[in-house]
Amino acid sequence: MAFDEVKTVDFKVVGQRVKRPDGMDKVTGKAKFGADVVAPGMLHAAIVRSPHAHARIVKIDTSKAEALKGVKGVVTRADFAEGLSGGNLDVLENVMAGEKALYDGHAVAAVAAISPLIARDAMKLVEVEYEILPHVTDVDKAMGADAPVIRAGTADKTVPEGMHANVVRYHESGHGDVDAGFAEADLVIEDSFKTEATHQGYIEPHACLASMGEGNGDLWCCTQGHWNVQKLCAAMLGLEQSQLRVTASEIGGGFGGKTAVFIEPVALALSRKTNRPVKLVMSRSEVFRATGPTSSTSMDIKIGMKKDGTITAGQGTFRLQGGAFPGAPMEFTAMCAFAPYNLKHVKQMGFDVLANRPKQAAYRAPGSPMAAFAVESVIDELCKQLGLDPLEVRLKNASAQGTKASFGPTWDRIGLVETLEAAKAHPHYSAPTKAGQGRGISCGFWFNHGGETSVTLALSEDGTAQLSVGTPDIGGSRASMAQMAAEELGIPYENVRTTIADTATLGYNEVSHGSRVTYASGLATIKAARNAVKILCGRAAAKWGIDEDAVVWEDGFAKPSGPNAGEFDPIPIDKLTQSMGRTGGPIVGHFEATPEGAGVSFATHIVDAEVDKETGQTKIVRYTVIQDAGKAINPAYVEGQFQGGAVQGIGWALNEEYIYGEDGRLQNDLFLDYRIPVASDLPMIDTVIVEVPNPGHPYGVRGVGETSICPPLAAIANAVSAAAGVRLKELPMSPPRILAALDKQANG
Amino acid sequence: MVEVNLWSGLRAFADGKDVVEVDAKNVGEVLRGLVELHPGLEDVIEAGVSVAVDGKVIASGLMEEVMPDSEVYLMQQLKGG
């Protein structure tokens, strides 16, 4: 057996809908989430937050809070490391304000007390003197000449001369000559679009428990990446990274929002100051006000099309505000915008803009859904005005292997055409719509990612396996990893236990982001298992007195590779592991590397929407997700990711938005006022898994977690626009916006 | 020599060029070569970039091989949610 050959057929465990290992603990309440961790002598912390959108901090007086009985410590910015720069400084500025409060909800101090109630009382006794400054929360206004400067000197060298200081980064890419392309078109449409910021909406608020000792510490927290937490917290506390051990709890949703740190350094600073363990749990209001929503956007799109549906050129300008810090994912918005299409002439420009809002955090395919909304809306309008089938037009222009991506490189094997063909063949696409309903389709694209990955697979004496991975399980990865390990070892799925190891146990692991876990940790698991199998074959070879290469591993047994290898009875895995201590020692497979073969992913969504023109309310009546998964390790989980992306997209498209008052304060910081979809809002989300294998993974896996949120905004907007009879250009398409659009249409 | 395609926003740091030739056998040498020829690119490259080699996006592997006839694109550093 070659130990590194690609395996794409004859799977026994992979592809099965196995039971999830964490399911029972979660439904019975046994699973330990961030807020469930406790320690003897533990204190409770609360954070003092700015009520102003933009203000200079003149003075902070903590004396009254410190004097309150039961209070054990108060920290401000002075309790964190000095001399940080770049990204680390931005993170610290966001975690605890320095000279200025930059948004409503920005942390300015924190207290630790013997009870949550005392901590909250003490919080109110911290006296902060502010000098209120002008603020701006809208992305277009933040770029205007009269906008207040939020953080002077933040812009990098990419920003063109003459732009406002709030524009801090610029991206431009593309190829060809767009003007020549527009000249070839029979119809050119140019339009503008806006989307509001939305929150990832994870059900579990951020929570952690910190315990600092002499120059070292332990931290338990809900996070998508505990090595990243270790690195950032060590920098902010002035610790050596290895002296801080971080353990990831179960996680109640992340969607990108838990790739950052917000409260962890604060809890560590309070623990260091009080010499006690400190627990810090955010309220829902704090989550909305002070953790990362996605960017809001303002976009201009121009696309030319011939009468036969050929797209002759595309151009997009994408302005994203990412709060008061650089990092709005405008380059991804730009690069994803036209990625589904094979264009001779294309140009995309992105602007990263500061505003007095919380620091944006990644949210599933950061930047891509907004781009799809704008571009796919214009394509839909072109198809409508030219009398063309929107699916046929997308097929005609679709990116495929060998065509040039809008951002440059030539595509390898990709599955967009296959998703479009599956959409065309799906009964949903040919089913008639009822009166008052409209149908929309959209394509979507996401890059996917590999990243630094470490995995250890240790065999037990009884032939079962303990698999340690370092990527928190945000989407069912423990089951998928166990399936891949079982496949390689030839043992039952139930004989593999997957654990999310802490930072002291494995080498570095990048965050669970970029839809990388099933790809990268999966690849690492396969390689680690193959290493273990190689050792097993070696032990069998030694027992038989033959060459190691003359032994093969099949279905959990070592066997002679053929008649020439000799006549020996196959040896099962448990017979080899029983004696491993006497035949060379423990059998462990490792993998530590940075896999670079993450395959990109495309999806096509079909949506039927019904609009009540009297109330402006929209109902999604039918929804089908078709996406390339490369290879679905566990189809149930893959379908879940498809459905989850669609549902979050429905919320983003129809209801969810950050609403700021004239005073720059967030008006809807509770789920009562920030409306995410619930089950009764939704139809069953139908799914089709397309499998175009990724050549960069042993089983062909492509990440699936993010691409599913790329098409929904556009597909729903196209459906709603068809149902309402008017083009909707701003998200969310809430009832007031739909009524306003209908009113504008009726009154010219 | 390897032809490296820059995203057009980087032309300002490469004497107006969007294709730069460097002597390189791997991704690390591509990046070093670009900075040697056009020091203005250093800040962008230091901030983090990905490199697409024959359609495969290399997010961080400096030792990944590059051939003289490889299609090489400098790209924004990839991450995700």
Can you give the CATH number for the domain in which B57 is found?
A: 3.10.20.30
| Contacts A–B by Cβ distance under 8 A | 103
Q: What is the mean pLDDT of residues A591-616?
A: 96
- Beta-bridge partners for A500: A469
Domain that includes residue B31, residue range: 2-76
Res. A110: pLDDT tops 60? yes
Could you tell me if residue B42 is inside a domain? yes
pLDDT for position A9:
64
Interface of A with B in 487-526 (CB under 8 A): 513-516
Query: How distant is the Cα of A125 from the closest Cα of chain B, in angstroms?
Result: 38
User: Which pTM was predicted?
Assistant: 0.96
- Domain residue ranges in chain A: 23-31+450-593
pLDDT attached to residue B79: 79
CB-CB: which of B44, B54, B76 is closest to A335?
B76
DSSP string for A39-74? -TT-EEEEEEE-SSSSEEEEEEE-HHHHHSTTEEEE
pLDDT tier for residue A1 given thresholds of 50, 70 and 90: very low
Residue A731, pLDDT above cutoff 70: yes
- Give yes or no for B13 touching A (CB within 8 A): yes
Among A259, A409, A452, select the one facing B81 at the smallest CB separation: A259
Average pLDDT over chain A reads: 97
- B39 in contact with A at a CB cutoff of 8 Å? no
Asked if the Cβ–Cβ distance from B71 to A452 is below 8 Å, we say: no
And the tokens for A573?
A: 């895995």
Within 8 A by CB and 6+ apart from A421, the residues are A395
Question: Mean pLDDT throughout A276-286?
Answer: 98
Decide if pLDDT at A2 tops 90: no
- Output the pLDDT for position A116: 98
Q: At what angle do helices A712-724 and A735-746 cross, to 10 degrees?
A: 40
For the stretch B26-78, pLDDT in tens is 999 999 999 999 999 999 999 899 999 999 999 888 999 999 999 999 999 88
Whether B78 contacts chain A with CB within 8 A: yes
- With contacts defined as CB-CB under 8 Å, which chain A residues touch B13? 157
A171 — contact with chain B (CB < 8 Å)? yes
CB A473 within 8 A of CB B39: no
Q: Which value does ipTM take for this structure? A: 0.95
- Residue B29 near chain A (CB below 8 Å): no
Kindly determine whether residue B80 and residue A513, on different chains, have CB atoms separated by under 8 Å.
Answer: yes
Residue A504 has pLDDT above 80, yes or no: yes
Tally of domains within chain B: 1
CA distance A408 to chain B (A): 7
Question: In terms of CA atoms, which chain B residue is nearest residue A159?
Answer: B9
Instruction: Work out the average pLDDT over A457-471.
Output: 98
Strands (E), A431-518: 437-446, 453-459, 465-469, 496-500
Judged by phi (left if over 0) then psi (alpha if -120 to 50, else beta), residue A606 lies in beta
Contact A412 B55 (CB under 8 A): yes
Chain B contact present for A390, CB below 8 A: no
Query: What pLDDT digit, counting tens, does each position of A356-384 carry?
Result: 999 999 999 999 999 999 999 999 999 99
A3 falls in which pLDDT band (50, 70, 90)?
Answer: very low
Cα–Cα distance, B36 to A163 (Å, whole number): 29
Closest-CA distance of chain B to residue A403, Å: 10
As given in the structure block, the two tokens for residue A459 are: 């065999």
| Assigned CATH for A23-31+450-593 | 3.30.365.10
Provide CB contacts within 8 A for B36, sequence distance 6+. Answer: none
Any domain includes B81: no
Instruction: Note whether residue B8 is domain-resident.
Output: yes
Is B45 within a domain?
yes
Distance CA(A22)–CA(A4), nearest Å, equals: 31
- Percentage of chain A lying above the pLDDT 70 cut: 99
